[in-house]
């Protein structure tokens, strides 16, 4: 069995400030972990994925995430937020042909 | 553009009816999976098909069924629609494997009245 908990349903930051979206996971397997972004009226887009290689994963648009097995976490960060980053973000755990999404974190970026 | 096309984009049905949603991709990805995304929630995994056979299923009743065709297009069928089936239905294609990237379509918005 596996599950994902996104700790914040809504995060609001100012443009140019750091972004932190938190995710904890639970899995009976050696999980693969992903972050996806969903802009309004658009399909889900993969930001990055962890697949048991380097624990610090770099993704698109300046995002990165660190896999911490001891904390069962996979938090998403970005040093400086841009207005175009405003969207819904989903943390995902995958294993045994089963993909589980978190409930999502809505990121708001203020000018 | 992900190259994944879902049809129709919007659909309105009444309780008890049956619905078929469709998904196709430009490339020959051999896995397709379907997700239900209720308003304000994350997508929930319905099932996955690999080479025309179901090889993974989430916690959905048997009235949710699917097909994958030799050309890798896919259908999601839902019988005996209920009001709670109202949601965005997403299709995703990939090359297979738990660590493989998925390409998502924009979804079909189903409303059950």
pLDDT in tens, A51-62: 877 889 999 999
Pairwise CA distance, residues A72 & A107, whole Å: 22
Contact A42 B106 (CB under 8 A): yes
CB A108 within 8 A of CB A13: yes
pLDDT greater than 90 at residue B27:
no
CB contacts of A21 in chain B (<8 Å) are none
Contacts of A55 (CB under 8 A, 6+ apart): A66, A67, A68
Contact B4 A102 (CB under 8 A): no
Instruction: Give me the pLDDT at residue B70, please.
Output: 86
Mean pLDDT, residues B32-59: 91
pLDDT greater than 70 at residue B2:
no
Task: List C-alpha distances in Å: A72 to A28, A36, A59, B31, B74.
Answer: 12, 18, 20, 28, 35
Contact B43 A103 (CB under 8 A): no
């Amino acid at each position: 069995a596996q599950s994902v908990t996104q700790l914040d349903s809504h995060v609001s930051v100012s443009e140019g400030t750091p972004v932190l979206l938190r995710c904890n996971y639970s899995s009976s397997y050696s999980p693969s972990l992903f972050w996806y972004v969903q802009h309004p009226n658009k399909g889900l887009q993969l930001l990055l994925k962890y697949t048991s290689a380097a624990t610090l994963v770099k993704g698109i648009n300046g995002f990165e995430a660190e896999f911490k097995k001891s904390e069962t976490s996979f938090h998403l960060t970005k040093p400086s937020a841009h207005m175009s980053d405003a969207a819904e973000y989903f943390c995902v755990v995958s294993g045994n042909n089963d993909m589980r999404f978190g409930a999502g974190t809505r990121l708001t970026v203020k000018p | 553009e992900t190259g994944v096309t879902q049809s129709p984009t919007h659909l309105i049905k009444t309780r008890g009816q049956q619905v078929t949603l469709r998904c196709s991709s430009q490339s020959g990805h051999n896995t397709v999976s379907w997700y239900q995304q209720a308003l304000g929630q994350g997508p929930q995994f319905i099932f996955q098909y690999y080479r025309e056979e179901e090889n993974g299923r989430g916690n959905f009743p048997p009235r949710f069924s699917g097909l994958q065709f030799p050309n890798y297009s896919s259908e999601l069928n839902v019988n005996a629609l209920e009001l709670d089936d109202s949601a965005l239905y997403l299709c995703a294609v990939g090359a297979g494997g738990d660590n493989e990237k998925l390409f998502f379509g924009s979804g079909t918005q189903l409303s059950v009245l």
